[in-house]
A and B are shown apart, each in its own frame.
Chain A
Amino acid sequence: MTLVRKITSLFAGAGMLVAASGAALAQEKTVKVGLLSDFSGVFAQLAKDVEDAWMLALEERGGMVAGYKVEIVKEDSENSPQAAVQKANKLIKSDNVTIFGGSISSGVGIALAGVADKEKTPYVAGFSIADALTGKFCSPYVARTSFSANALQAAAGAYWAKKGVKTAVFMGPDYAAGQAMLAGFKNGFEAAGGKVVLEELTPFKTTKDWGPSLLKAQQTGADMIYTFYAGSEAVQVVKQHAAFGMQEKMPLRGAMWIYDEALWDAMGGVEIGAIHVTNYTNALDTEASERFEKAFEAKYGRLPVASNAMGYTNAVAIFDGLAKAIEDNGGNLPEDKSKIIAALASLKLYSDPRGPVHFNSSNNAMQDELYMVQIVKGDDGKPHHKVIDTLPYGEDLPGCNMQ
């Protein structure tokens, strides 16, 4: 958005300049879509990954949905709910977007869900995993294309219990996401007959030495440690766990964050052999994921990572949902924007790179496909993923009561 447009929007209430520009725009039907993501702050890389995937999805549709030209309006939510609310207000009231999506952080996601609900403008979360987003705070104007913390971890917990793991130690950072992951894992694991014998929540961002926690875990004699750590914390936990020589007796499992591809270099080889759950890996050999990999590599010259796949599903759901809503409404955008979310939630994305995914109609949350992957050393001497199993998606936490 340029300065000039900014000034015109400042006087939109007076309505002089806008009438003139509105007449010029009437020739072509456009739909504005907001890409509101954490482009600055700790999630900047993820936000960029999402944006790349959005642009690929848009290019594949020739920049159009159901006869409407798509105009993307990009805004930075700065990983701050305050900034996110302000930018969402701008997208809705100044840029007049029809729908927006792309957010990363859970706090931002929840803040945006509230704005979307009040302003009756659809919002599609792309990354936020907080259970409350499609639970307590669900809305007919909110959908999510990411999994929920509970569903992912409950599925993983049930998987390991069924594989014969009887006791587990949970380790994770002591904040909302860590607690949600713990609760989810425990739900699935204990329902399937396992027992969490120790819940070790470490102070978030300040812990450097996991020795005491690992010692405590060792003393329980549990069958495995299940973790949720990301970034530099993940690297330290994995390395210290290996240094304690616990890899054989008490393996360290988790979801994609703990053994993220981006951390492999820093882990220096100890990640080889580790097994974790994920909702996407570029080692998938389905037709849809191969096609996505090729298209992505052709456009950007590198293989997509999980965050690209997350962003891609987010964009596809938004674009195809818009297209369906427009077609259902006889070629025009529906007046009632909750119909866009309804159309989006009825999509069956059979050819999604993550696998055939669909939405849960009761809370508009995506029901993901999940894979158990192992990190193996390839012929080129570099680590990569090998899919060893698929597992059914868990259940979202209850609490959604949509009016």
Chain B
Amino acid sequence: MENTDDDSWHPLVEGDESRHDPMDRAAARDQRRFLTIALIGLAVLIALPFVVGDYYVSLFSEILIFGILVSGVNLLLGYTGLVSLGHASFMGLGAYVTAIAASLLGYPVWLSMLASILISLLIAYGVGLLSVRTKGVQFLLITLAFGQMFHAIAEKTRFTGGDDGMTNIPRIDLGFIGLDADQDRVFYFFVLVCFVVAMLILRRVVESPFGRVLVGIRENEKRMLAMGYTTFPYKALAFGISGMLAGLAGSLWVQHGFFVNPHIMTWELSGEALLMVIIGGSQSFFGPVLGAAFYVLAKDLLSEITEAYLMFFGLIFVLVVAFFQGGLAGFASRFAERFLNRKSDGGEDKP
């Protein structure tokens, strides 16, 4: 993450162990800040279904599912500096694995979900091994090509209904705790649990030495090479993890809509995922989730008003990129910083 001075909004950082080392202190502050945002966010997400109507519960399930996808995309875009246009195909892969295993082969859904996660991890890692040797436009085009290839395979596969797709895919069976996931609120909480687990894993990844190397690659890959890192396995694994999260999102997606067809693998969805990341803020851990929420809700609202809502999206995108540095998350954190600093009487704790 970019260590801008917006870490300083929390004036209460006084870890004994970190007093003498500014790096540690910044990390502890960052950790505290992460926990604050995470807990507030979690409280809001838990309270939400008790406040809003059924439709919005299903819409928020959608937001969380996209949140998992775009957080994975951001591991590449924000942390590693790689732009992939193939992530919809990993989402589709996860979706198809769950659909085939649960609906056609009759395996329990939880097992199908595990299969989705594993298979998308393996295939994304394989694709990563082949594509991360390139960079920039070549990388983008290679991921696009892989994506289109998976899309074509899905379209040609007859036992999944080809282009038409398949429906009546079951949701996870929560009967053992007496719940029915066909109910919107129950399914929402199931998605929320998956979301939280995905976020914790992702946090663990970006906080680990592995994650630091990824940031190093983004900032200056040549220097990392000079320091003795073989960067390419790092990038391939990042691609794999990111694809795995997309696969989990896909697996939840088929359960959400009971349906899958190749449309979920189109590159447009990969593009939308990038859009969510950038609108939300690629330099922030939760920024992409904010972007997903904004995207889904704004689309819902705008599509009520006009069929040409994509035009407005273009406009919003341009405005965000031009004026909101760091996306919505960057804007929010600058706003909070200013607000809190004034409150605490300019409690700057810079040396």
Contacts and interface: CB of A to CB of B under 8 A. Distances in A.
Given A110-B261, A114-B169, A114-B258, A176 B51 contact: no
Interface residues of A, number: 39
B163 A76 contact: no
Given A3-B304, A81-B261, A117-B168, A176 B54 contact: no
Nearest to A90: B55
Contacts of A177: 163-164
B60 to A, nearest CB: 11
A177 B163 CA distance: 8
Interface stretch (A4-12, A289-297, A355-363, A377-385): A4-12
B261 A86 contact: no
A13 B50 CA distance: 7
A249 interface: no
Contact of B164 (A10, A13, A176): A176
A86 B62 contact: yes
B167 interface: yes
A39 B308 CA distance: 11
A6 B164 contact: no
A137 B167 contact: yes
Nearest to B269: A82
Contacts of B56: 10, 13, 94
Interface in B146-169: 155-156, 158, 161-169
| Most-contacted residue by chain A among B165, B300, B304 (CB, 10 A) | B165
Interface in B52-95: 52-56, 58-59, 62
A6 B182 CA distance: 25
Contacts of A107: 163-165, 261, 263
A113 B167 contact: yes
B165 A86 contact: no
B53 A175 contact: no
Interface string B30-47: 000000000000000000
Nearest to B296: A86
A346 interface: no
Interface of A: 1, 3, 6, 9-14, 39-40, 76, 80-82, 85-86, 89-90, 92-94, 106-107, 110-111, 113-115, 117-118, 130, 132, 137, 174-177, 179
30 contacts: A6-B301, A9-B55, A10-B52, A13-B51, A13-B56, A14-B51, A82-B257, A82-B264, A85-B257, A86-B58, A86-B59, A86-B300, A89-B55, A94-B56, A111-B167, A114-B169, A114-B258, A115-B257, A117-B168, A118-B182, A118-B258, A130-B161, A132-B164, A174-B156, A175-B162, A176-B163, A176-B164, A177-B163, A177-B164, A179-B158
Interface of B: 49-56, 58-59, 62, 155-156, 158, 161-169, 182, 184, 256-259, 261, 263-264, 300-301, 303-305, 307
Q: Across chains A and B, which 4 residue pairs bring their CB atoms closest together, nearest first?
A: A114-B167, A12-B53, A94-B55, A176-B162
